[in-house]
Amino acid sequence: MQEVTHSYLDELNDIQRQAVVQTEGPIMVIAGPGSGKTRVLTYKIAHLINIGVPPWQILALTFTNKAAREMKERIEAVVGSSARRVWAGTFHSIFARILRVEAHRIGYPNDFTIYDTDDTKSLVNELIKSMDLDKKAYNAGVIRSRISASKSNLITPKAYSQNEDMLNYDRMNRRPMTYKIYEKYVARCKRSGAMDFDDLLLQMFRLLYENPDNVKEKYQRQFSHLLVDEFQDTNFLQYEILKQFVNYEDSPHNVCIVGDDAQSIYSFRGATIENILQFETDFPNLNTFKLEQNYRSSQHIVDAANGVIGYNRRQIDKKIWTDKIGDQKIKVIKTISDNEEGRRVADLIIEQKHRHNLSNSDIAILYRTNAQSRVFEEFLRRQNIQYRIYGGLSFYQRKEVKDLLAYMRMTVNPNDDEALKRVINYPKRGIGASTVNKLLAIADDNQVSLWQTIPHVQLSKRAMSNLAEFAALIATLRKHMAEGKNAYDLAVLISKRSGIVSALKTDNTMEGVGRLENLNALLDGVKDFVENDEVIEGENPLDKTLASYLQSIALITDMDNDKEEKETVSLMSTHACKGLEFKSVFVVGMEENLFPSYMSLSSPDQIEEERRLFYVAITRAEEYLTITYSNSRYQHGQMRFNDPSRFLEELPPETIDSVIPLKQKQGFGEPKILGNFKPTGLKRVKKLMIDPQNFHPDDSSKIKPGMRVLHLKFGEGNVLDIDERFVATIEFDQIAVNPKKRIMLQYAKLQILD
């Protein structure tokens, strides 16, 4: 193939350039952390356009809308406005776009509703109740996950009911009717004209598989080049859909996947590392390019990452390297308790800000579970360090926002059962649970939607009047929609006619004012949607309908909701940190049973995924990496004593400074202090003079005034008094300032000494 020279190619290193200019046949780009993956992907699309591939024939699939937007912006900077005509978006948004045109071919309305997590949970709960099943055994979240996993593996309700392994698993877990819930769930969604997020994939596969001549061939011919970002995060179903697009007679197999097997960390969402490991088997004429130069991290961090991931058996061979030398080795710090860990990290953040002139936004604290954030939040507040929890409650998950959106959904699709149940009595209009239950019963008996049952239900005169009032409201809103009102004008009308705005205005508290502001912000978003004049290839630029708006916001991911970065330290789980980078990173809670998680210890494959998760965490750091672990911590209300994580001993010794846990036969030995760095975290051990392993708290009801007791944190003391609320006053020997502590015996952990 003759190479075309363009100035943007000069910005790439040799291997990046080779990956970009190879435009034909199957291509796999293995992109290590900080290796310029996004640049290669965007420049590759720009290059395709520059050599004459029509942009609307390029399909680029990502995992967040934010990534798709940034991709288009970068392409546009190279090739101009034609970049807007590229089909770039998440799997779900692109497939929803196609299904809006083709869904009628598989028995769904083209204006189908998209059910979010709350909708699906509500529906599952309703089915569990209607089938009179035990809520403890049939946990709605577990059932939802079971249904989701089945769909992601192309297991239909019928196939599920005939799969003895799955049925036996359910019987063992006292959930033998799971298959029946799945069957009813699918029927209810179909009847409501609704798809959940998994359906956007499953129904897309059905559409292509069941319509090979008129639909599959149409899109195979339309998309001459297919690119997939973060391919290691794809699940079985996503890969099967990709094959439907590119595997056909005389196909050139112009498919390019970009990813890193060492960053495959989402198996709990259904992602499978097998997709990227087996890609060469499925496409034997594959061209593979390995981006191994890391532009982000210093030498010690890169060497540590290579050392750790080298312990994994199943991986694509590569060696990440960097030319950023850096003089900061990795600090590993041992603390006596999780509180001490929180205090030590907060102190070190202050120290780094002063010594290295870092700002808050340069720093991140990464933990294995979200529950670990509490102690770090507490000590950051004490030090007056501004912080934010990454991935808080999404704007679109707030109650008042969901309420107004439910009215909008009812206006577009009155057969949407979940939307109807949410707003039929909000604001309150005298339609109680008994009325809704009667509607549900009629709907189930006749296999129709709740909306269709309203004219046929027999109720008291007052209840009938209230129900008729609600039905008339929805009918009026639908009439205005039919008259052609745009999304914003209709949304304002809905907010007023529904009574939501009036209800919120009666609450003058700060929370009430905040809820009203959220509602106004939602309406502002609708207005922005209507006034946005961007033209997208294949879509009507005048489509500013409410249905189109609802689709656009239904596909927003949590990451897409993030506002502009503020001057704050970022706290997040290790799963949430992928794709981000910070000058200084603290990876905390590095203990067995926590990281790696206790749930992974019985499976070698799961241990390897936990190791990949640690690899992702440490490669977020550019210059400073601090790893902490604790002898003891509270978990689920209990004091737990964990060994240091096995991953710590996998760190190459030459990359570590300061406190180094040395491996002995029975576990890690005492920390060794090197250099001038003297962590105060080790001093607390002498003050306590308690061996946590020998501490055995007694029944608090046996504790009486005058007894000598031992407390894990405060040491030995005398019980002076116990009041009527069972609060003990104890004077501790080893506390010089304020030795008298008042402790609630109900929660106290005290060992009786005499």
Instruction: Give the integer Cα–Cα distance in Å for 221 and 65.
Output: 25
CA distance 600 to 36: 32
Whole-angstrom Cα distance, residue 226 to residue 61? 8
pLDDT digits (tens, 9 = 90+) for 669-699: 333 333 333 333 322 233 344 566 677 888 8
Structure tokens at 706: 């005058």
DSSP 572: E
Residues 6+ apart with CB under 8 A from 534: 84
What CA–CA distance (Å, rounded) separates 461 from 467?
10
- Low-confidence stretches of the chain (pLDDT < 50) are 1-5, 533-541, 558-559, 561-565, 637, 660-689
- Is 244 annotated in the active site? no
Beta-sheet pairing, 582-587 with 363-367: parallel
Q: Is 37 a catalytic residue?
A: yes
Beta strand extents in 326-454 (DSSP E only): 330-335, 363-367, 387-389
Amino acid at the residue 289: F
Catalytic: which of 37, 144, 544, 713?
37
Choose the catalytic residue: 18, 22, 38, 452: 38
Strand residue runs (E) in 234-276:
255-259
Q: CB neighbours (10 Å) of residue 313?
A: 7
Residue 38: active-site member: yes
Angle between helices 433-446 and 117-130 (to 10 degrees): 80
CA distance 699 to 709: 12
| Catalytic entry in 620, 633, 646, 713 | 620
Report the chain's terminal Cα–Cα distance, integer Å: 87
Provide DSSP, 45-58.
HHHHHHTT--GGGE
- How much is the pLDDT for 624? 97
Question: Tokens 């290669």 sit at which residue?
Answer: 40
Of the candidates 263, 322, 335, 372, the residue annotated as catalytic is 263
**Is 498 in contact with 506 (CB distance < 8 Å)?**
no
What is the pLDDT at residue 510?
A: 60
CB 577 within 8 A of CB 365: no
Distance CA 496, CA 475 (A): 15
Angle (CA) 288 293 294, round 5°: 125
For residue 556, the model assigns a pLDDT of 58
5 classed as catalytic: no
Separation between Cα atoms, residue 587 and residue 609, nearest integer Å: 17
CA distance 104 to 81: 33
Alpha carbon distance 338, 632 (integer Å): 6
Catalytic residue among 170, 199, 229, 403: 229
102, 119, 196, 230: the active-site residue: 230
Residue 229 among the catalytic residues: yes
276: tokens are 């990227």
Neighbours of 655 (CB within 10 A): 22
For residue 748, what pLDDT is reported?
74
Alpha carbon distance 532, 314 (integer Å): 47
Q: Which long-range contacts (CB under 8 A, 24 or more apart) does 20-23 make?
A: 20/44, 20/47, 21/47, 22/287, 22/289, 23/47, 23/48, 23/51, 23/53, 23/225, 23/254
Which tokens in the block code for residue 668? 């890690």
